[in-house]
Structure formats: structure tokens, C-alpha cells
Amino acid sequence: MSGKSLLLKVILLGDGGVGKSSLMNRYVTNKFDSQAFHTIGVEFLNRDLEVDGRFVTLQIWDTAGQERFKSLRTPFYRGADCCLLTFSVDDRQSFENLGNWQKEFIYYADVKDPEHFPFVVLGNKVDKEDRQVTTEEAQAWCMENGNYPYLETSAKDDTNVTVAFEEAVRQVLAVEEQLEHCMLGHTIDLNSGSKASSSCC
Ligand SMILES: Nc1nc2c(ncn2[C@@H]2O[C@H](COP(=O)(O)OP(=O)(O)OP(=O)(O)O)[C@@H](O)[C@H]2O)c(=O)[nH]1
């Protein structure tokens, strides 16, 4: 891949066992392990990709979802450009815990403007028959909690995995574009001598 690459850090959060490591491994190595072990602390993998003409190196951080590893994972939240809030569609509790994960991330990543931070929600394990969360419920949660994009994935079947990580990149680029637009607006206003507008920033 040629051209200057933008380094983006995305972080996978969600209850233990929802499939965070499996999603990362499917995306980066195209492998799936049906006997995956729980993560202890954090792990990360990189993958280069091109989205809408932009070259990106995606640094994907996979965190331990089990409560006992909280102190090992939270120091790694800072500097994340996007957070992938993950639950498993066959595990209702993991869906009900999404709000806790969102709050934990905002607090430990020290997000200054949570309203505009790019979250993407993933409902994983859609290959399973015994669903406990409907698509409509998950979409409603996303609408109510920040109008986040929602994708249903399967690390096992490789359903929507690439789409999910590309969506994360698109969300980050959209926020970046908005910021650039606002900064440009300020520059123009200042040059013309008028008071800078802060309507979008
Ligand atoms: N059927 C199915 N099983 C999956 C899928 N994704 C992961 N699994 C299985 O679910 C179990 C847990 O997957 P992990 O990827 O380790 O889950 P995790 O969220 O990283 O778990 P922690 O490391 O404890 O936070 C493993 O047995 C995986 O094989 C999926 O899309 N479909």
C-alpha cells in the first residue's frame, strides 16, 4: 500500500465471551477459533486498509471483558479514536451492559465531548439460532444513546466483520472532517475580521 497512512486506534469493549478477540482475529488473520481463551488485560493487532481513498493503519485493541480484569484494561482506553461497543445477540445481559461499557470508556478515556465521540455498536454471533436480543431493540438502543451505527456480525461466519471495522474508520474520518470544516470556518471568519462562529464546533 502506498501513500501516507493515518494511524487510527480502535478499541473493542464488551462483556467477556461476546467475541471481541474473535472479531479482531477474523479481521486481521481471517481465522476463527471455536475454543478461544478469555483475554487477560489487552492485546492489539494492526491492519492496513483503504477507505474512501484514505490510507489507514488500523490499530485494533482487544480488551478483557471479565470484571476481574478491569484495572488491567482501563489504562489503555486513552487515545482511542473509536470505540466498538460489542455484545452477543444470544446473551441478553451483554446487551444490557452496553451502557456501563459506554460510561466506563468515556470516564477512563477522558473523552471531553462524549456527544460527538464515534461509537459503533456490534451485535455479534448472529449465526446462532438462540437469539435473546432483536435487531429492532439493538437499533433502538443505538438511537437513544447517541445515534450510533449498529452492525450485526459473526466472527465465526465472517459476516459483516470487514464492514464493521470500515464503518469505525468512516466514523472517525467523519468527525475529523467536521473538525477541519469548523477550523476552516474560524479561519475565514478571522481573516474577514468578523467574529468566529462556533455553530458546529
Ligand atoms: N457461534 C459463534 N461463536 C463465536 C463468535 N465469536 C466468538 N465466538 C465464540 O465465543 C467464545 C468467546 O469468544 P472471544 O472472542 O474469546 O470473546 P471475548 O469477547 O474476546 O472474551 P474476553 O476475552 O473474555 O473478553 C469463543 O468460544 C468463540 O469461539 C461468533 O460470531 N459466533
For residue 198, being part of any structural domain is answered with no
Q: In which domain, by residue range, is 52 found?
A: 6-185
CB 87 within 8 A of CB 123: yes
Pocket lining: 26 vs ligand 1, CB cutoff 6 Å: no
Residue 199's contacts (CB-CB under 8 Å, 6 or more residues apart) are 185
For residue 123, being part of any structural domain is answered with yes
**Nearest of 175, 171, 143 to residue 83 by alpha carbon:** 171
pLDDT over 70 for what percent of the chain?
A: 89
To the nearest 10°, the Cα dihedral for 25, 29, 30, 32? -40
For residues 167-187, average pLDDT: 82
pLDDT digits (tens, 9 = 90+) for 90-106: 999 999 999 999 999 99
Q: Give the separation between CA 184 and CA 186, rounded to whole angstroms.
A: 5
19 CA → ligand 1 middle, Å: 3
pLDDT digits (tens, 9 = 90+) for 65-98: 999 999 999 999 999 999 999 999 999 999 999 9
For residue 165, being part of any structural domain is answered with yes
For residue 167, being part of any structural domain is answered with yes
For residue 33, being part of any structural domain is answered with yes
Q: How would you class 92 by CB atoms within 10 Å of its CB: exposed for 0-12, middle for 13-18, buried for 19 or more?
A: middle
Q: How would you class 28 by CB atoms within 10 Å of its CB: exposed for 0-12, middle for 13-18, buried for 19 or more?
A: middle
For residue 97, being part of any structural domain is answered with yes
* Ligand 1 pocket test, candidate residues 22, 61, 91, most atoms within 8 A of CB: 22
Hey, which bits of 14-99 come out as E strands?
42-51, 54-63, 82-88
For residue 168, being part of any structural domain is answered with yes
Kindly report the pTM of this predicted structure. 0.91
| Residue 70: half-sphere exposure toward Cβ, Cα within 13 Å | 9
Domain count, the chain: 1
Q: Give the separation between CA 15 and CA 172, rounded to whole angstroms.
A: 24
CATH of the domain at 12: 3.40.50.300
Atom in ligand 1 nearest the alpha carbon of residue 159: 31
Pocket lining: 171 vs ligand 1, CB cutoff 6 Å: no
pLDDT of residue 187: 54
For residue 191, being part of any structural domain is answered with no
